């Protein structure tokens, strides 16, 4: 039993005239995108999200689909040249594009730390793949649901730590980690996944609307590594 609501399919259809794609209908879930300004108690939300991910990992994953980058799945090793040959190359190019805007040496250190961390040596577990605010719902001030399971797979749970950087505050990150019982290696890999999701583009750092938020997330990633 998952402690937060998830989409429940009610019907599905096949491509037809006028709509050449598979389609489905899900039960309606009340709420809005779970941005922090809609959360009354961020610490409680951090614990509830961690408990959700813990419950998801506890579900039998024996016959679950493996993560494949070709299918848009997360959960493979960050430096897996077979399943994710573009990850390291793409990230280095994205970091290099920020030269002169941020401390690219410090950001590179975050990435290198993730790549050098020991790989997941436990059994594969269910992962959501993208627990970002746009894929969670808040209702009446509380985290209420996790949606959009398009990257659902069985693999390394570190990628679900994206939530620690894309959703949580610095003040609630510790309780999230403690509730999930995340070891140092998994946390380092999760920090790398957080970087893939939160690394800004040059335009993000020059646009007044999003600059402060983009810099804050990046600064927190670097600070977490350096202590």
Full-model pTM: 0.91
Q: Which range marks the domain in which residue 184 is found? A: 9-226
Task: Give yes or no for a contact between 143 and 48, defined as CB atoms under 8 angstroms apart.
Answer: yes
What's the CA gap between 196 and 217, in Å, rounded? Answer: 12
User: What's the total number of domains in the chain?
Assistant: 1
- Give residue 227's pLDDT: 79
Mean pLDDT of 21-36: 95
The verdict on residue 116 lying in a domain is yes
Q: Which tens digits make up the pLDDT trace of 136-191?
A: 999 999 999 999 998 899 989 999 999 999 999 999 999 999 999 999 999 999 99
- Give residue 70's pLDDT: 52
The verdict on residue 3 lying in a domain is no
Strands (E), 15-107: 23-26, 32-33
Tokens representing 129 are 């793949």
Task: Please tell me which of 13-22, 58-67, 100-109 the model is most confident about, judged by mean pLDDT.
Answer: 100-109
Instruction: From residue 153, give the alpha-carbon distance in Å to each of 124, 127, 205, 227.
Output: 9, 6, 33, 32
The verdict on residue 1 lying in a domain is no
Q: Which of 81, 159, 163, 176 is nearest to 125 (CA)?
A: 159
Task: Give yes or no for a contact between 193 and 84, defined as CB atoms under 8 angstroms apart.
Answer: no
Tokens representing 25 are 């209908």
* Poorest-pLDDT segment among 74-78, 120-124, 151-155, 182-186: 74-78
> Which H or E run contains 153?
strand 153-155
For 152, other C-beta atoms within 10 Å of its C-beta total 18
The verdict on residue 4 lying in a domain is no
> Which H or E run contains 11?
strand 9-13
Residue 208 has pLDDT above 90, yes or no: no
The verdict on residue 2 lying in a domain is no
Q: What is the CATH number of the domain that holds 28?
A: 3.90.1200.10
Residue 12 has pLDDT above 80, yes or no: yes
For 132, other C-beta atoms within 10 Å of its C-beta total 18
The verdict on residue 85 lying in a domain is yes
The verdict on residue 106 lying in a domain is yes
> Which H or E run contains 198?
helix 184-198
The verdict on residue 216 lying in a domain is yes
- Give residue 63's pLDDT: 85
- Give residue 87's pLDDT: 63
Mean pLDDT of 18-25: 91
- Give residue 81's pLDDT: 45
Sign of CA dihedral 53, 56, 62, 63: negative
Residue 80 has pLDDT above 80, yes or no: no
């Amino acid at each position: 039993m998952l402690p937060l609501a998830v989409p429940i399919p009610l019907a599905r259809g096949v491509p037809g005239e006028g709509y050449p794609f598979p389609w489905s209908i899900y039960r309606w879930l009340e709420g809005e995108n779970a941005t922090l300004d809609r959360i009354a108690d961020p610490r409680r939300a951090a614990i509830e999200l961690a408990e959700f991910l813990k419950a998801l990992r506890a579900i039998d994953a024996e016959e679950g689909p493996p993560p494949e980058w070709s299918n848009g799945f997360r959960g493979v090793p960050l430096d897996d040249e077979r399943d994710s040959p573009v990850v390291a190359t793409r990230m280095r190019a994205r970091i290099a594009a920020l030269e002169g805007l941020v401390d690219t040496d410090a950001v590179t250190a975050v990435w290198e730390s993730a790549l050098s961390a020991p790989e997941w040596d436990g059994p594969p577990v269910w992962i959501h793949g993208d627990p970002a605010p746009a894929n969670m719902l808040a209702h009446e001030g509380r985290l209420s649901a996790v949606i959009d399971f398009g990257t659902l797979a069985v693999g390394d749970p570190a990628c679900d730590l994206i939530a620690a950087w894309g959703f949580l505050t610095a003040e609630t990150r510790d309780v999230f980690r403690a509730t999930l019982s995340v070891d140092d290696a998994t946390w380092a890999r999760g920090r790398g996944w957080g970087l893939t999701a939160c690394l800004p583009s040059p335009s993000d750092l020059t646009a007044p609307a999003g600059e402060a938020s983009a810099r804050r997330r990046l600064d927190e990633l670097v600070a977490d590594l350096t202590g």
